[in-house]
Amino acid sequence: MAQGNQQIHYWKLSWKEIAALDRDSTLIIIPTGAIEQHGPHLPVDTDIFNATAISEGIAEQYKSSKNRVLVAPPIWWGTSPHHLGFPGTLSLRNETFAQIITETISSLLPHGFYRFLLINGHGGNAGNLTATVSQIKQDYALSVPTLSYWTMIKQTLIDIGTSPLGGMGHACEMETSLALHLRPDLVRMDLAIAEMPTEMTSWSCIDFRAGGPVGIALDFKRDSKHGIMGDPTVATAEKGKRIYEDAKKAIHSCIEELFALKKSQLLRD
């Protein structure tokens, strides 16, 4: 039986409706992203918009299911100190970001919710999210899965990518394609410029398809002229549709496996 109200947005429910949710068959997605410069051709909300759009697309798929997926208020700000050299960026300190995630979950946990998924849209958040869910496990005995959407579709990105390695990094072939699919009215393709990354070492390549193993803190003002790493000029709406659909499919399949986990596997008494 599908649960009553088919609203996918957590914040549009009343407390009575939230109280009535079946805890075992409800999973809450928390989208995370960033407000940061994305070159001259994309809006500064690109990362949180993409994470939220994918989250909403997945929640929609559960509308007639016995399980329910709700999207929590997206966490708009991320950790973007490497973009602060450009106007437009709003960046949180690592501890602030971790605290917002933790306190969102610690507000829900006492009311019986224990199935969560963090869907991330900003590369700069990934390390922090791993550390944060580890701390949540230690402090609340709760396992919170976290993923960055592009890591779920590496093969898709390899298949559709027409730029050389380095072409999918930031405001790049991938992110621009997604934007052309999801909201073309906000993309200024006439301002898109190919700006291939100049790595500090041959071990630290930045690309969503195959990043190098060595991480070196970036500084986009130092490392790029226009705030781009990659080649947005080869982006297309068609590629964006593939990225969006394949990301939804992969994450949906992951969520099915998360629903199959018992409460005791996610939350220790």
Contacts to Zn ion by CB under 5 A: 46-47, 175
Nearest-approach distance from CB 237 to Zn ion, in angstroms: 18
Residue in the shown chain whose Cβ atom is closest to Zn ion: 47
Q: Which is nearer to Zn ion, 173 or 175 (CB)?
A: 175
With both helix axes pointing from N to C terminus, report the angle between 126-140 and 94-108 in degrees, rounded to the nearest 10: 40
Q: Which is nearer to Zn ion, 47 or 195 (CB)?
A: 47
Question: How far is Cα 193 from Cα 40, in angstroms, rounded to an integer?
Answer: 8
Nearest-approach distance from CB 137 to Zn ion, in angstroms: 28
Nearest-approach distance from CB 140 to Zn ion, in angstroms: 30
Nearest-approach distance from CB 112 to Zn ion, in angstroms: 35
Nearest-approach distance from CB 88 to Zn ion, in angstroms: 12
What lies within 8 Å, CB to CB, of 245 at 6+ separation is none
Q: Which is nearer to Zn ion, 115 or 242 (CB)?
A: 242
In the DSSP assignment, the letter for residue 9 is B
Nearest-approach distance from CB 216 to Zn ion, in angstroms: 18
Q: Which is nearer to Zn ion, 28 or 206 (CB)?
A: 206
Joined together, the tokens standing for residue 18 give 């939230």
Q: Which is nearer to Zn ion, 100 or 171 (CB)?
A: 171
Nearest-approach distance from CB 7 to Zn ion, in angstroms: 28
Q: Which is nearer to Zn ion, 111 or 154 (CB)?
A: 154
Strand pairing report for 26-32 and 68-71? parallel
Q: Which is nearer to Zn ion, 136 or 187 (CB)?
A: 187
